[in-house]
Structure 1
Amino acid sequence: MEKSNDLRVIRTKQLIRDALLTLIKEVGLENITVKKLTECAQINRSTFYAHFYDKYDLLESTINDELLSFVEEAAPKSEEELIATHYPKAFYLRAAQYIYQRADFFKIMMGENGIPSFQQQLLQIMKKYMAERLEKFHPQLDKMEIPKEFFISYVAHANIGVISYWLESGMQYSPQYVAEKMSNMTVEGPLSVAGIK
């Protein structure tokens, strides 16, 4: 579908996306129909079809836009950020703050009636980021004590696990605290952070 900067179009698309999230939370994606979406968004069918082909096109567009915003916000802004020795790392803090600010979206997407493919896409973003950083900063990738894929997968899944727990448990910890612990565990290792020698 065509992109538009028209404020009315932007508002209408947001109404439809809000309706999608509401309905995913209430009934799950498989039970959503265009009729339910239009009723929830209080628009007519022709307005829906002017912007999206079907609910799957709407879902894909919603996820892609959100993840693009997430990457743009959280991505490292300089090499200095990557080699800084303090915690939390700035990009972890931006990521945690973004998730905190968009908590409703992330809770719905990763919740009980959520979208498994969303978590997989978020995981792939983290793996890609880890692979790029490892390639850039590890002096001898071929001499790592474990396959680099083990390391990348371990760290990415661990980060997703922390984010999932944070969302599920009502986000009782601040973004600053979560970012600090995630970046600390990534660099120092979970046992060291837990005080186990």
Structure 2
Amino acid sequence: MIEVEAKARALEDAEERILRMGGVLEGVESHTDIYFRSPVRDFASTDEALRIRIKDDGVHLTYKGPKLDSETKTRLELSIRVDDAAAAEKLLESLGFSRFAVVRKRRAKYRLGDAIVALDDVDGLGRFVEVEISADHVNPRDRARVLEMISSVGMGKPIRLSYLELLEIARSSTPITASGSADEKSTPARSEP
């Protein structure tokens, strides 16, 4: 499945804007994302990610491939439901993967046609909005729609960095602009995407 996604800092009235656009609240969830390093390749260099996501309704093991365009976070995403987060982590560790970071957030999820619009309160970062469309293949119209929606509820340019990357930048005290970008010269080398 291809995930066509864009993210930005949320405007103060983002929730009202989403509702005016026709968004329907599907629920509010807590997410704990546990990220892993690969024993055979550097995910930061290959722009990939492997995580276990623990949500209120279950646990998912997810692989994210490299980003496919320069404006959004469009990428291959493969996700499977697992019964037990601890067992999944033990399996990955047995294969040589190692846990290196955890990201926690509270997500209000809205349905807007075939798009999901999420208002995320991320521990250590603040409030963001993500717009996502899942598709079988890359479609320029989906990309354009996602960018249009994010410009209606977010401030500044879309942010291509993951929450994990933004947390690493925040911990390093690198200034982050309103759009979520960091000064390239002062940005530390990433450990993972």
TM-score for the superposition, normalised by structure 2: 0.26
Q: Which has the higher contact order (CA 8 A, sep 6+)?
A: 2
Instruction: Specify which structure has the higher proportion of helix.
Output: 1
The structure number with the bigger radius of gyration is: 1
Instruction: Specify which structure has the higher proportion of strand.
Output: 2
TM-score for the superposition, normalised by structure 1: 0.26
